[in-house]
């Protein structure tokens, strides 16, 4: 299992780590700041640099569901890396920070809609979330509600709960990523002060004001009860 630095500090952009193994499918490190694709959030990209200054460009990160091992997938396999070697890593921060703002924005929509979420996809400039509601939400009302929460500058925190305790609170499982992520520490809960709490393994900003300027885009009908809400970040 790879130690997930981003889980406790989503703002960590760089770190050093030992190479555990170099697989055909990617580079395995003992710890990482690279977020792996999951819950609608894309995997991180970035650079791994070895002691000799050789740089390996990472085009994607994935996590094996069974082992919890992260694979850092290089653009090309040509550069040699050896197990045991200490490397430094750096994620593409502007890209990741946009995902953090987007991801947190989708939590706000969850809180406002207060309904089942059937899917979501986070992108750099545009994201979407599918919610199970009968009535099509009003775009202007949603826009203004979201702007108000952003302006309130609410803090966002992560807490851990045992899965047993979580199963006694089924109303909390309104998660955007389907099954709540469970690790050896239990289930990670993301709380946006006074408006929302839900299990989530993704990366979020620390205050709602960091989301900044947002725009609610098209709201589409996707099936009888399913509405797709598109959102954009303008800067
Ligand atoms: Zn989340």
pLDDT in tens, 64-118: 988 889 999 999 876 678 999 999 999 999 999 999 999 999 999 999 988 888 8
Indicate the number of domains in the chain.
2
CATH (domain of 193)? 3.30.980.10
Taking the centre of ligand 1 as the mean of its atom positions, its distance from the CA of residue 176, in whole angstroms, is 7
Q: What is the pLDDT of residues 26-65, one digit of tens each?
A: 999 999 999 999 889 999 999 999 999 999 999 999 999 8
Residues surrounding ion ligand 1 at CB below 5 Å? 200, 202
- The answer to whether residues 154 and 64 belong to one domain is no
- The answer to whether residues 106 and 19 belong to one domain is no
Domain with 169 in it: 96-233
The per-residue pLDDT for 186 is: 84
Taking the centre of ligand 1 as the mean of its atom positions, its distance from the CA of residue 150, in whole angstroms, is 16
Query: 39, exposed or middle or buried, with CB in 10 Å at 0-12, 13-18, 19+?
Result: buried
- The answer to whether residues 52 and 152 belong to one domain is no
The per-residue pLDDT for 173 is: 62
Other beta carbons less than 10 A from residue 31's beta carbon:
15
Taking the centre of ligand 1 as the mean of its atom positions, its distance from the CA of residue 131, in whole angstroms, is 15
CA–CA gap between residue 196 and residue 166 (Å, rounded): 15
Give the chain's mean pLDDT: 91
CA–CA gap between residue 104 and residue 157 (Å, rounded): 11
Taking the centre of ligand 1 as the mean of its atom positions, its distance from the CA of residue 106, in whole angstroms, is 8
- The answer to whether residues 158 and 218 belong to one domain is yes
- The answer to whether residues 131 and 75 belong to one domain is no
**Is residue 165 over pLDDT 80?**
no
Domain end point (choices 91, 109, 127): 91
């Amino acid at each position: 299992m790879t130690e997930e630095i981003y889980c406790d500090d989503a703002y960590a952009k760089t770190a050093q780590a030992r190479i555990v193994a170099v697989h055909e499918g990617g580079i395995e490190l003992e710890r990482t700041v690279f977020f792996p694709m999951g819950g609608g959030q894309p995997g991180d990209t970035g650079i791994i640099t070895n002691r000799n200054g050789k740089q390996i460009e990472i085009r994607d990160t994935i996590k094996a569901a069974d082992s919890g091992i992260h694979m850092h997938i290089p653009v090309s396999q040509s550069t040699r890396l050896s197990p045991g070697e200490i490397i430094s890593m750096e994620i593409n921060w502007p890209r990741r920070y946009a995902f953090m703002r987007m991801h947190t924005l989708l939590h706000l929509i969850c809180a406002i809609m207060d309904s089942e979420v059937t899917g979501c996809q986070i992108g750099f400039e545009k994201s979407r979330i599918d919610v199970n509601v009968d009535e099509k939400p009003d775009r202007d009302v949603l826009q203004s509600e979201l702007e108000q929460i952003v302006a309130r500058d609410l803090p966002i925190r992560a807490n851990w709960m045992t899965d047993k305790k979580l199963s006694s609170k089924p109303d909390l499982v309104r998660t955007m990523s389907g099954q709540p992520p469970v690790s050896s520490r239990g289930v990670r809960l993301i709380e946006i002060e006074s408006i929302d709490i839900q299990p989530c393994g993704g990366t979020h900003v620390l205050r709602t004001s960091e989301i900044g300027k947002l725009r609610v885009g098209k709201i589409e009908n996707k099936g009888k009860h399913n509405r797709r809400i598109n959102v954009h970040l303008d800067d």
